Structure 1
Amino acid sequence: MSLQLWLPLLAICALGAMSPGPSLAMVMQNTVGGGRLCGVIAGMTHALGVGLYAGLTVLGLAAVIVHQPWLYRVVTWGGALYLAWMGIQALRASGGDGFSFTDQASDWRRAMRDGLLVALGNPKLIVFFVALLSQFVSADLSAAGRWSIVATATLVDGGWYVLVALLLSHSRVLPWLQRHAAWIHRLTGIVLLGLAARVAMG
C-alpha cells in the first residue's frame, strides 16, 4: 500500500478511535476502577476486537453482517445488553465509598472481557469499517496491503486507548478520581445506559 493511500487510512482510523462512545467509557471505568494494568488490558483487547472487524472487512464478511438483518440485529442487541449490564454495575457500585483498588487491581480478566465484548458488540464499528475501510480494499490489492489495513486499524485503536489508560492512571489524576469515585460511577453508569438505549434504538 502506497504512503499516499495509507495516510488517509491512518487519519480515518484515528478519528474513529478518538470519537467518544462506549469504548471510551469502558476503558475509563476499567482504568479508574482497576488501575493502570486493567485499563491497558481493556484497551488492548478492545483493539483485538477492532482488528477482527477490520479483518472481516478486508475478507468481505463484514458486508454480509450488515446485509443480513437478523445477524446484524443479534450483534446490536447483544452489544446493547452488555452496555446496559455494565451501566447497572457502575450504578450499583456508586453506593459505596469509592473504588476498591486493592480488590480490583488484579481483575485483568474482567478488563479483557470488557474490552473485547464492547468492541465486538458495537454495531457502529461494523458500519464504520464497511462504509469507510472498504473503499481502501480493491480487487487487485495484495494480501500485504489488505493486512496492513487490519494492522493499522488495530494498532491505532490500541495505541489510543492505552494512552487514555496511562493518562487516567497518572499519579496526579488518579487520587482526584478516587476522591470523586461515587460520582464517576454514577456518571459512567448513566452514560453506559444511555449508549445502550441508543444502540438498541439503532
Structure 2
Amino acid sequence: MDLALLVSAAIAGAIVVLTPGPAVIAFIGIGAARGRWAGAQFLFGHLLGDTLWCSLALVALVGANLVSPWLFHGLALACGLYLLWLGTKAVLVRKRPDGGTSADVDRPYVRGLLFGVSNPKSYPVTLAVFTAILAGQLGGFGWSEAPIFLLACLIGFVLADFILIWLVGTGPLRRFYSSHEIWIIRATGVMFIGFALNTLWHLARDLSLIA
C-alpha cells in the first residue's frame, strides 16, 4: 500500500479524535476532575468505538452495498438515547457531602467504551474526514489492504489521544474546571441533550416519520 495513503489515514484518524464533540467534552470533564490517568482510561476504552466507526466509514466508502441502512438506523437510535440519558443526568447533577458530584465516573474505561460505540458524532465525522482526505486515493483500494489501513488509523487515534491526555493535565485547565465544575457539568449535559435530539431528529427524518 502507498505510504502516502497510510500517512493520510493516520492524519484522518487523529483529526477524528481531536474534532470537538460529546466524547472530547466527556473526556475533559473526567480528566480535569480526576487526573490524566482517569482521562487516559476513558480514551483507551473509547478506542473500540473509534475503530468500529472507522471500519463502518471505510465500508461506506469502498463497499456501501455491504451494510444495510437499518444497521445505521439502529446505531443512531442507541446513540441518541444514550446521550439523552447522560445529558439528563448531567443537568440534574448535585454536590455530594464529600465534595464530589453525582456525575463522578467510577469506571472511566467502561464509560469510554460505552461512549465510543454510542457516539453519534463519530460516524458522520469519520466519513466526512475520510471522504475529504482519502477518497481521491482509494481508487485501487481492495479489502486485502483494509487491515493495514485500519492500523494506520489506529496509530492516528493513539497519537491524538496522547495529545488530549497531556492537555487535560495542564494546571490552567484543571484549575478552571475545579472552580466551575458544577456549571460545566450542567452545560455539558445541555450540549449532550442537544446532540441527542439532533441525532433522533435526523433519524426520524430518514425514516420519513417527520417531514
TM range (shorter): 0.7 to 0.9
- Picking from 117, 120, 125, the partner of 2:117 is 120
CA distance in 2, matches of 1:167, 1:148: 29
- Residues 77, 88 of structure 1: CA spacing in aligned structure 2 closer, same or farther, 3 A cutoff? same
Report the secondary structure of 2:171's partner residue.
Answer: coil
Provide the alpha-carbon RMSD of the alignment.
3.3
Match of 1:96 in 2: 95
1:45 CA drift (Å): 1.5
TM-score by length of structure 2 reads 0.74
Consecutive unaligned residues of structure 1, counting only runs of 5 or more, are none
* Alignment-mate amino acid for residue 116 of structure 1: L
Tell me which moved more, 185-194 or 172-181: 172-181
CA distance in 2, matches of 1:141, 1:66: 17
CA distance in 2, matches of 1:123, 1:184: 21
Report the secondary structure of 1:38's partner residue.
Answer: helix
Consecutive unaligned residues of structure 2, counting only runs of 5 or more, are 203-211
Aligned length: 195
Tell me which moved more, 14-23 or 178-187: 14-23
1:33 CA drift (Å): 3.4
* Alignment-mate amino acid for residue 73 of structure 1: H
- Residues 62, 155 of structure 1: CA spacing in aligned structure 2 closer, same or farther, 3 A cutoff? farther
1:139 CA drift (Å): 6.7
Match of 2:38 in 1: 38
- Residues 99, 113 of structure 1: CA spacing in aligned structure 2 closer, same or farther, 3 A cutoff? farther
Identity of aligned residues (%): 22
TM-score by length of structure 1 reads 0.77
